[in-house]
Amino acid sequence: IGSALGIAPGMIAGAVISGAYFGDKMSPLSDTTNLAPAMAGTDLFTHIKYMTFTTVPTVLITLVVFAVISFNVETTGSADVSSLLITIKETFNINPYLFIVPAVVIIMILFKTKPLIALGTGVGLAGVFALFFQTEVLKTLSDSNVTAIFNAIFSDTSITTENEKLNDLFSAGGMKGMLWTIYLICSAMVFGGIMDGIGALARVTKALLSVASSVFGLFASTVISCLGLNAIASDQYLAIVIPGKMFKKAFQDKGLAPENLSRTLEDSGTVTSVLIPWNTCGAYQSSVLGVGVGEYFIYAIFNWLSPFMTLFFAAVHLKIRQLKTTTQGL
């Protein structure tokens, strides 16, 4: 749509990435949103609640900047999506009842249901609804509707339409396509465990903290470590797991609650991975969007602004939660 309107591809990609990473960062179903608090030692919903302090101002600034940009961008042509809508309507049975599935998942999230249970319920309901509303689609995937559903969940699935753009959208790898993510997380945790076991993490942490021993220095060291690992290790999971293990004790020693660390891991590890061309996230997004990292970098405002926001909060000591201390009397 943006291309049809004559808007610069980098600007479109930057807006898409900013919005996508905001949603990914704040979703309790996101892999990195679950990984960061696990590494820091806090619970998921405390982590999400604490992230809002830095994330909301960042996304608001991003929206303001894009609003200003939009008033100064001249568009050419028009965006005609009617053909896409017609193809979707011809391929699927679009029914209001289908909104029940995401609604149930959202309600479960609001009630702080564990992500695995919420996701499992959503998948199960989606399978049941597919049997009732998408029988024609299931027939194109397999002779058996049940087999088609299981294939869609666990393996590669491709729904062919007359529109090539939609064909890419309707192709997915199911749980099989997520195995590489699981392998990376496991590898990162093993690597971090080995580094911790041989004392390497302690030595690196000590070296960093000897240069910057203040609270702000601790936050800055964490941010720099996340950025560095995103660049060197080329993967956001390593940029979360390793700094999480490195600085967990340091935050405790400073009397800082673990949600400070988990928030910093997300603000500097999760969102900046897409800004590095050779990082897995940067390479993937660049490939999917068809735009080089250099083209969308400046427009991915939410992503590069997030580390600065977390450093600002640390510098002015705003929303820096202390560890709760309990005293017992005889």
Res 329: pLDDT? 40
- Tokens linked to 318: 């705003």
> Which residue type occupies 18?
S
What is the CB neighbour count within 10 angstroms for residue 223?
Answer: 23
Helix 179-197, helix 31-40: angle, nearest 10: 20
C-alpha distances (whole Å) from 40 to each of 35, 115, 185, 245, 304 are 9, 18, 15, 7, 22
Residue 245 maps to a domain: yes
Give the whole-angstrom CA distance, residue 186 versus residue 193: 10
Spatial contact of 270 and 314, defined as CB atoms under 8 Å apart: no
Whole-model pTM? 0.82
Residue 182 maps to a domain: yes
Res 256: pLDDT? 95
DSSP code string of 81-97 = -HHHHHHHHHHS---GG
Spatial contact of 215 and 311, defined as CB atoms under 8 Å apart: no
Residue 142 maps to a domain: no
Residue 264 maps to a domain: yes
Give the whole-angstrom CA distance, residue 300 versus residue 229: 20
Residue 122 maps to a domain: no
Residue 49: partners with Cβ closer than 8 Å, 6 or more residues away? none
Res 251: pLDDT? 94
Residue 194, SS3 per DSSP: helix
Structural domain span for residue 77: 1-84+175-322
- HEC string of 108-176 equals HHHCCCCHHHHHHHHHHHHHHHHHHHCHHHHHHHCCCHHHHHHHHHHCCEECCCCCHHHHHHCEECHHH
Give the whole-angstrom CA distance, residue 179 versus residue 160: 24
Please tell me the total count of domains within the chain: 1
Tokens 């753009």 map to which residue? 165
Q: How far is residue 28 CA from its own chain's centroid?
A: 10
Q: What are the per-10-residue average pLDDT scores of the chain (330 residues)? A: 78 95 93 93 94 97 95 74 85 93 92 88 94 92 91 87 81 79 76 79 78 87 92 86 90 94 96 92 86 95 97 95 61
Res 295: pLDDT? 95
Residue 180 maps to a domain: yes
C-alpha distances (whole Å) from 213 to each of 25, 228, 263, 300 are 29, 19, 20, 32
Residue 108 maps to a domain: no
Residue 96 maps to a domain: no
Spatial contact of 140 and 150, defined as CB atoms under 8 Å apart: no
- Tokens linked to 123: 């998948």
Q: Which residues pair with 322 in a beta bridge?
A: 256
- DSSP one-letter code for 321: P
